[in-house]
């Protein structure tokens, strides 16, 4: 659906897309939530590869193979921790998405699946994060004709509904 991302609830580690996005921490060495789930599903090879990358600053992203995942690649995006919105969090979150889409273009990826970056333990308000995610996804879909599918994958139906509302409002 060109020009518009799709929101679904489900397990991002089971998707057969060109790349899934990992809501990573700056170390890229795994953690809780979706980060831990992706590392477990990808196998120890992912951690070994991430140990060679030297981490990643907040607001940026790095790409790795998907190893044991159905997805060919993992794009590790480091979202901001929410501190009330006055420490550049919106710009850093938008930057995460832009870095992911730049990597997708550079690697010829046609399908991507994003989790709700920064919405778990990093505490970003769900509606605000969804608005940024949808806006960046729509820009990327308009700017990259090779990009065929962008999924926003929520950890539960409540978050999927927040994402769907943001898509409808965009």
CA–CA gap between residue 89 and residue 12 (Å, rounded): 24
Task: Write down the pTM of the prediction.
Answer: 0.96
Q: For position 64, what pLDDT does the model report? A: 98
Q: For position 83, what pLDDT does the model report? A: 97
Q: For position 42, what pLDDT does the model report? A: 98
Tell me the β-bridge partners of 114.
Answer: 152
Pairing of strands 61-65, 149-154: unpaired
Domains in the chain: boundaries: 6-169
CA–CA gap between residue 73 and residue 92 (Å, rounded): 23
pLDDT, tens digit, 9 for 90 and up, residues 115-162: 999 999 999 999 999 999 999 999 999 999 999 999 999 989 999 999
Enumerate residue ranges in the chain where pLDDT < 50: 1
Q: Cite the active site residues.
A: 35
Q: For position 3, what pLDDT does the model report? A: 72
3-state secondary structure the chain: CCCCCEEEECCHHHCCCCEEEEEECCCCCCCCHHHHHHHHHHCHHHHHHHCCCCCCCCCCEEEEECCCCCCCEEEEEECCCCCCCCCCHHHHHHHHHHHHHHHHHHCCCCEEEECCCCCCCCCCCHHHHHHHHHHHHHHHHHHCCCCCEEEEEECCHHHHHHHHHHHHHC
Q: For position 2, what pLDDT does the model report? A: 53
Q: Which two tokens stand for residue 36?
A: 């831990």
Q: For position 1, what pLDDT does the model report? A: 43
Q: CATH: 3.30.470.30, 3.40.50.2300, 3.40.220.10, 3.40.30.10. Which one for 6-169?
A: 3.40.220.10
Q: For position 96, what pLDDT does the model report? A: 98
């Amino acid at each position: 659906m060109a020009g518009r991302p799709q929101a679904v609830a489900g397990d991002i580690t089971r998707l057969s897309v060109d790349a899934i996005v990992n809501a990573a921490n700056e170390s890229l060495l795994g953690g809780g939530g979706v980060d831990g789930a992706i590392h477990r599903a990808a196998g120890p090879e992912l951690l070994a590869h991430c140990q060679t990358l030297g981490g990643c600053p907040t607001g940026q992203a790095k790409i790795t193979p998907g190893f044991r995942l159905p997805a060919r690649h993992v794009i590790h995006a480091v979202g901001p921790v929410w501190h009330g919105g006055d420490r550049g969090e919106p710009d850093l979150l938008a930057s995460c998405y832009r870095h992911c889409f730049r990597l997708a273009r550079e690697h010829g990826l046609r399908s991507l699946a994003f989790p709700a970056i920064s919405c778990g333990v990093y505490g970003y308000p769900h509606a605000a994060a969804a608005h940024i995610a949808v806006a960046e996804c729509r820009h990327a879909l308009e700017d990259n004709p090779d990009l065929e599918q962008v999924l926003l994958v929520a950890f539960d139906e409540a978050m999927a509904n927040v994402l769907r509302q943001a898509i409808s409002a965009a």
